[in-house]
Structures are given as structure tokens and as C-alpha cells.
Chains A and B, each alone.
Chain A
Amino acid sequence: MLTGLAMVGVARFLEQRQDFEDATARSYQREIAARNDLVAGRNPRIARQTIKGEALRREVLRDEISAKTRDTALLVGAGLIAGLTGAALLFSGMIASMRRPLEDLVEASERLAGGDLEARVKVGGLSETAQLGAAFNEMAEELQRRAGERDQLERMKDEFVLTASHELRSPLTSVQGFAELLMLEREQLTPKQTETVEIILDNTRHVVRLLNDLLDLARSDAGRLTIAPAPTEVAALVEEAARSLRSRTAARGQTLEAEIEPGLPRVNADRDRIRQVLVNLLTNANEYCQEGATIRVRASRAGAEVEIAVIDNGPGIPSEQLEHIFERFTRGDAGMTQRVGGTGLGLAISKSLVELHGGTIAAESTPGGGSTFSFRLPAATLSETANGAESAAEPPGLVPNPAEAERR
């Protein structure tokens, strides 16, 4: 369109120029004729007038042409400007109609990536962006459908684990309960019968442990492993855990001792869950250590945290196994595993539980030189007021006012 306008302009300019040149040439011819007449002495008056008149005519012609070409130039210029403006408007319109859907797409993609599976775009604009939008919506639809299916499967799995656990527990309750009843009357049993009942009980406890661990892992995977922390006395916690292990360490001739640093602050802990961690660590020490080994539980202050360590002088753990010790189904060497028969889940669960408390867990060991499993929990005084200014002012080692702790 613009080229057309320019060509019309140039053609018109050339035409006007041609007209002007033709008229000027004719004017000169007439003047030359007049001058020849003048030289020849024909009609000298008329000839002089013609010469003067032609000069005047040419001046008029020159004025005319410059005015005309100026008009043409203005016209072409105005046309060009109008054309360019139009083109610019057209382009910006096209860009805008492309840009908005693209911006929407970018925004929707970001929402989708951020987990908002409801994110969709309005399909419209140029056919390419419309296609892109439709494809995006289709993809989002598919993602949402799959996520829905996966959530449903996840729920079914959780439901299954809970139901299976429940259904298994009732018969286990009976098996364990009646075996225990027999053990209460062991004086009426033969040694062989007593041993049989003991085997039943050991295996029942193992299945129960396995069930509990599987349930905890399922909870952990579903993000539903929850804790209810409250200020807790470390000494009582250690004592409870040690008490539940004492008969088993005694059975293997092992020494179990606790060492609690005096004036230890309380920890912010879910009592049952931290007892479970401690029992896990103590059970491992009990099962993996040789008869007559010494197992120590040591609780001490470590900055704003309290460290609880289970230290044994057992066979230790090779470094390549130590690396993966907190992963699921990781246990010591196979021969040992068969003998102790743990679930291989205890340490993985312990790690999840300690981390839920905002704490850390670690293992150190040298083959032949014993193992130390330790975890740290935030002290109740500091962690509870972590956001408050007063925590900084509290001197370290201060035992919290029980009334205050209870109010919290």
C-alpha cells in the first residue's frame, strides 16, 4: 500500500515536472521566434512584448511547478506518515493480541508449576496463540486427572494400611494376650512348653513391631506423622525407655546405664515419640551387641539443644553401611540381620521423628570399637520462645518455671 502511494506520488511529480518542462520549452521557442523577428526587423514592437511576456510566463510556470511539487511532496509525505502510523497501529494491535494470551500462558504455567492444577487459560486471539492455549489447557486437564487418580490411589493405600493394621491387631492381641496368660502360669508348664510359649511371644512382638513401623512409615509418607511436643524432662524419658529394655539387656548379660547431666533443661518433645526413638536405639544396641556388652545412655547439654546418645562397645558398623544406616531396610551384615531380625525400618522412622521435632540424628562407629547413635532436640526454654525477644535474655541452663511451661 505504501509502495503504491509512493509510486503514485513519484509519477505525479514526474508528470508535473514534464508538463513544466514542456511549457518552458514552448515558451523558449516562442521567445527565440520573437527574437528572430526582432533581428529581422519584423514587427519589433510585438516581438519585444512577446520576449517580455515569455520571460514572465516562465516565471509563473516556475512558481506554479514549485508549488505543485511541494503539494505533491506534502501529499506523499502525509500519506506516508498516515500509512506508517496505520501500519504501526496494526502491528501493535497484532502484537498486543499475541502478547496478552502469551502473558496469560506464562502466568498459568507458573501457577501450574506451583501446584495449582486448576490453572487454565482463556483460549482466543490469533490462531497460533489459540492453539497454544488449547494445548496448554488439555495438558493441565490431563495433569489434574492424573493427580486426582494418584491422590485417590494414595488414599486407598493409606486406608488399606490402616485397615490391614487394624484387622491384624485384633488376632495379634489374642495371640499375645493368651501366650502371656500361659506365661503367668509357667510353674504349671514343662520347660519345653515354656520355651514354646516364649517363642510365640517373641515372634508376636516382632510382628507387632513390624506393623507399628509400617504404619509409621505409611503415616510419614502421607505427611501425617504428627507430633504433639510439650516440655519434657529428659531424665524421666530416659528412665522410661531404659526400664522397658532392662529385662532384655539383662537376658543377654548386658549392662545398661544412664548418665544424665545435672541441671539439664527440659526438651520440647512428644514424650511417646521420643521414647520410641530411644527404645529403637536401645533395642538396636541390645540386639547387635555381644552378650555382656555395656550400653550407656548419655544426656547432655549442647548449646540450645540437648543431646541424647546411646553408646555401646559392640562390634561397630563398617563405614559403607554407616553411610546408609538411616535409610529404609538398611541393616548390618546379612548374617547379623538374620540373627537379630529387626524390621530395618526403626532408624528411618527415628530419623523422621527427630526431624519432625526440629532436631538432628547422627551415627558414629568404628568397626570393633563400638557405635554411638545420638540425637539432639531443642531445649524447651529456647525453642518455645524462639520468636520472642525474651528468649535471648534468658541465661543458658535456666530450668523453666513449671507453671509458665504448663501455661504454654
Chain B
Amino acid sequence: MARILVADDSETILLLIRTRLEMAGHEVETACDGQEAIDAVRRDPSRPPDLLLLDAMMPRKSGIDALRELRADGVEIPALIVSAHKEGADAKGDGDLAIDGFVTKPIDFDVLFERIAELT
């Protein structure tokens, strides 16, 4: 099972995602904005997460901006962006940023589990 870093500014949603992922046997670490997600990835370079699940819109630093910084640092961990709708992600993403997929809210966990299985 995979180690997954989840970033969302809503504690309720973090709790929901953590519960579902842990029920599916994954190990979950959470962050409540983009900066915390970056810090969590850098904390222990010897043991990086297998997958990033980042919300596109977060105060202070969005998931897209966090991913852009991590990619610039040479971090190649697969990343899924969670967004309310496609525009939210499109508007902030750019062609060069390596994003492995989008997950729209409300989250369809069956689809999410399939994506996680593909990427880890």
C-alpha cells in the first residue's frame, strides 16, 4: 500500500480522505496548505511519499504552486490535483507542469482508488 500526502484547507475533507484512504490500507500524511505540503515532502528526503493529492485552491499557497516548486526542486513524485471544477485547475496550471491527473469534487473514491493504483 502507498504512502500518500494529502493537502486540503478543509479539515473535514482531510478527515474524510484520510478515513477512506486508511480504510483502503494506505498510509496518510496531511497538510493544510501548499507550504505545509512542501515542508512535509522535504522533511525526510530518504522516505518521500509515493503520491501527492493536492487541492488546487488553498489559501497562502495553492496545490498547483506547491507542485510547481517541488517539480522545480526535482521532485518527481506522482501528483493528483483535486479541484472543484476543471477551470479551477486549468486556469492555474500550465502546460509544462507535470500533473498526473485531476480529481473533481465531490470525490468519487472508486475513481480515486483506481488512479492511485495506476500511479503507485
Residues on A close to B: CB < 8 A? 162, 165-166, 169-170, 172-174, 176-178, 180-181, 184, 204, 208, 215, 219, 224
Contact = CB atoms under 8 A, between A and B. Distances in A.
8 closest A-B pairs by CB: A166-B84, A177-B16, A173-B106, A169-B105, A169-B84, A173-B105, A176-B106, A174-B12
Interface of B: 10, 12-13, 16-17, 19-20, 23, 57, 84-85, 87-88, 105-107, 109
Contacts of B84: 165-166, 169-170
24 contacts: A162-B85, A162-B87, A162-B88, A165-B84, A166-B84, A169-B106, A170-B10, A170-B84, A170-B105, A172-B105, A173-B13, A173-B105, A173-B107, A174-B10, A174-B12, A177-B16, A177-B17, A177-B20, A178-B16, A180-B109, A181-B16, A184-B23, A204-B106, A208-B106
B13 A174 contact: yes
Given A170-B10, A170-B13, A177 B107 contact: yes
Nearest to A215: B85
Interface of B is mostly: helix
A166 B16 CA distance: 18
Contact of B88 (A166, A173, A178, A208): A166
A347 to B, nearest CB: 21
Given A174-B13, A177-B16, 7 more contacts: A166-B88, A173-B106, A176-B106, A177-B17, A177-B20, A177-B109, A208-B106
Contacts of A174: 10, 12-13, 16
Contacts of B17: 177
Contacts of A162: 85, 87-88
Nearest to A205: B106
Residue with the greatest number of chain B CB neighbours at <10 A, chosen from A170, A181, A184:
A170
Given A166-B57, A180-B109, A208-B106, A173 B85 contact: no
Nearest to A172: B106
A181 B13 CA distance: 13
Residue with the greatest number of chain B CB neighbours at <10 A, chosen from A162, A165, A166, A172:
A166
Given A169-B105, A169-B106, A208-B106, A177 B13 contact: yes
Nearest to B55: A170
A244 B98 CA distance: 29
Residue with the greatest number of chain A CB neighbours at <10 A, chosen from B57, B105, B109:
B105
A173 B57 CA distance: 15
Contacts of B19: 181
Contacts of B85: 162, 165-166, 169, 215
B115 to A, nearest CB: 14
A172 B12 CA distance: 11
B68 to A, nearest CB: 21
A224 B12 CA distance: 32
